[in-house]
Amino acid sequence: MEVPLQFAFTAAIIVAGSFLQGVTGFAFGMVTMSLLPFLMTVKAATPLVAVLAVPNAASILWQTRQGTDLRKGWGLLSGLVFGVPIGVLFIAKMDNAIVEKALAVVLISVALQGLLLPPKVGAGMRPFWGPVAGLLGGMIGGAFNIGGAPIVVYVYRQNWSRETIIAVMQTVFLISMLYRLTFYALTGMLSATLFLNCLLLLPCIIVGSSLGVRCQHKIDVPRLRVVVNGVLVVLGVLLLT
């Protein structure tokens, strides 16, 4: 990111994604991966978002740590173990044009799912679906950093408090991201320049996530989710064209 204007736009996108993650417990990957491909290639955006997602999730997890319960995330993590390598292998081996179209399709699908099947807290979902959601989330997350949708559907349907829901999601996301970065490193997708850019963007993560957590109970989350998913559908269509 040698062009100042490009860096400024990137920073704004990171703040927006971090803010929404702080409010809802997810959306960082979806927001950043839907906008950054207009500034850089998907293959460049994926590891950048993956590295930045670590301090983002860690920051939100620290602020919601009272609701943390790792036992509630074991099912999801067992599926992620197998899903992440599949997703990373896809983006590492495929041509960027194919990856970009695949990202667009996934974005539209995830956004439509969010519009048509919004999370319902306490609706109930059997533990069997935990590993399934983790496997799907791992594959999509490994490829595009937007594998939160299956995990969100599962977690939001548990009879947990809002704080516990967000804390459990951040715990699962954080472990998944660290696991994912291992495979990115093995496939040569990480570099010193990438980490330098992430270091420069770190303040954006702190500011965005902190504001988001503070606004959790001040924003109409269902309405915000509709707006965000609607915008994601549009961005996905633009990426396809």
pLDDT in tens, 136-160: 999 998 888 887 778 888 888 887 7
Confidence grade of residue 115 (pLDDT, cut at 50, 70, 90):
confident
Q: How far is CA 51 from CA 24, 114, 119, 128, 241, in A?
A: 20, 25, 27, 30, 28
Confidence grade of residue 215 (pLDDT, cut at 50, 70, 90):
confident
User: Is the confidence at residue 198, as pLDDT, over 90?
Assistant: yes
User: Is the confidence at residue 175, as pLDDT, over 80?
Assistant: yes
Confidence grade of residue 5 (pLDDT, cut at 50, 70, 90):
confident
Domain residue limits, the chain: 4-240
What local confidence, expressed as pLDDT, does residue 83 receive? 94
The mean pLDDT of 53-77, rounded to a whole number, is 79
In the chain, the DSSP E strands lie at none
Return the higher-pLDDT residue of 116 and 125. Answer: 116
What local confidence, expressed as pLDDT, does residue 167 receive? 80
What local confidence, expressed as pLDDT, does residue 36 receive? 93
Contacts 24+ apart (CB under 8 A), 96-101: 96/41, 96/42, 96/43, 99/42, 99/43, 99/143, 100/37, 100/41, 100/42, 100/239, 101/239, 101/240
With residue 147 as reference, give the H or E element that holds it.
Answer: none
Q: Which of 96-100, 110-114, 120-124, 214-218 has the lowest mean pLDDT?
A: 120-124
What local confidence, expressed as pLDDT, does residue 81 receive? 92
What local confidence, expressed as pLDDT, does residue 14 receive? 95
User: Is the confidence at residue 182, as pLDDT, over 90?
Assistant: yes
Return the higher-pLDDT residue of 3 and 22. Answer: 22
